[in-house]
Amino acid sequence: MADTLLDQLATMTTVVADSGDLDSIRRFSPSDATTNPSLILQAAQLPSRRQRLAEIAQQATDIDAALDDVAVEIGTEISALVPGYVSTEVSARLSFDREATLNKARSLVERYAQKGVTPDRILIKIAATWEGIQAARILEREGIQTNLTLLFGMAQAKACADAGVTLISPFVGRILDWHKAHAPGSDFSGAKDPGVKSVRSIYEHYKSHGIKTIVMGASFRSAEQVTALAGCDRLTISPALLDELANSHGVLERRLSPLGSKAGSPEPQAETAFRWALNEDAMATEKLAEGIRKFMADQRSLETLLGELRHN
């Protein structure tokens, strides 16, 4: 039988599991795994974790510490199942506070170290706000690797490259969601998908300028979006779509290729230029703000759960 689409994808792209579910990670054996507040909440709500969650909540000094302990414990379990990176996210509440983001990132890395997980295995996920990107610049110089998330446009991608971040997670599905809402009835299939086009343009910009930051497409709505980016450095994919790709056959064409640097290094982007460019991109501005709110809503749900367990 011919190789599945997932098998073929893995020959040209590093496949990453977008999940905190250990069973799914065991099944698909991805190279890396990413988590976020929403995925941590899903994992924490599993009945099998309830007793351990209660222990963490009751032993922690406060709810904030309990949140970090839960994320790091799940991340540590994932690190034993994947050979590469595990991404753990800084609280969305800190998205506009550079110093607090720095302190939280350092704390998460220290928590991982206490569990025997070294910094080279960890990516600290930070929202791609100006403050978040500048925090990442400092962390990278300290040897703490970062994954800039909630990235929706070129302004954010260029600023991340300037900061020398290890990896960016440009979103695909949420970009498509926005365009569908604002232009219902339009044809966004295949190469017309605005989320796919955005990641391709970022990938091509990075490769043409010799930028080493890893491009990892994220937030997929369909297997078609995934296969349209075959060849991207990394793609982080949900268990449902991994399953669909693992059960699909056909010839998968490589869509993205690193053709080599053709241009010199671009000029660094000043803060005012970044903020103006982001403001001019209504989709990126709205989806960034919405994404931060959604992650924070799920974090509050986890805080409530841990608070209840803490006082039982």
**125 carries an active-site annotation:** yes
In whole angstroms, give the CA distance from residue 85 to residue 75. 10
Kindly report the three-state secondary structure assignment for every residue of the chain. CCCEHHHHHHCCCEEEEECCCHHHHHHHCCCEEECCHHHHHHHHCCHHHHHHHHHHHHHCCCHHHHHHHHHHHHHHHHHCCCCCCEEEECCHHHCCCHHHHHHHHHHHHHHHHHCCCCHHHEEEEEECCHHHHHHHHHHHHCCCCEEEEEECCHHHHHHHHHHCCCEEEEECHHHHHHHHHHCCCCCCCHHHCHHHHHHHHHHHHHHHCCCCCEEEEECCCCHHHHHCCCCCCEEEECHHHHHHHHCCECCCCCCCCCCCCCCCCCCCCCHHHHHHHHHHCHHHHHHHHHHHHHHHHHHHHHHHHHHHHHCC
- Residue 38 above 90 pLDDT? no
- Residue 4 above 90 pLDDT? yes
- Supply the pLDDT for residue 261: 66
For residue 38, give Cα distances in angstroms to 144, 157, 276, 287, 295.
23, 23, 30, 16, 6
- Residue 163 above 60 pLDDT? yes
- Supply the pLDDT for residue 259: 77
- Residue 221 above 70 pLDDT? yes
- Residue 305 above 60 pLDDT? yes
Per-residue pLDDT band at 86 (split at 50, 70, 90): very high
Average pLDDT in the 148-177 region?
98
Per-residue pLDDT band at 53 (split at 50, 70, 90): confident
- Supply the pLDDT for residue 2: 66
- Residue 258 above 90 pLDDT? no
Average pLDDT in the 56-70 region?
94
- Supply the pLDDT for residue 8: 97
- Residue 16 above 70 pLDDT? yes
Q: Domains of the chain, with CATH numbers?
A: 15-310 (3.20.20.70)
Query: What does pLDDT average to over the chain?
Result: 95
- Supply the pLDDT for residue 290: 98
If you count them, how many residues does the chain have?
Answer: 312
Q: Annotated catalytic residue: which of 104, 125, 207, 287?
A: 125
- Supply the pLDDT for residue 41: 87
- Residue 1 above 70 pLDDT? no
What's the predicted TM-score (pTM) here?
Answer: 0.95
- Supply the pLDDT for residue 46: 85
Q: What would the pLDDT profile of 263-273 be if each residue is shown by its tens digit?
A: 777 889 999 99
Q: What would the pLDDT profile of 174-217 be if each residue is shown by its tens digit?
A: 999 999 999 999 999 988 999 999 999 999 999 999 999 999 99
CB distance 224 to 172 below 8 Å: no
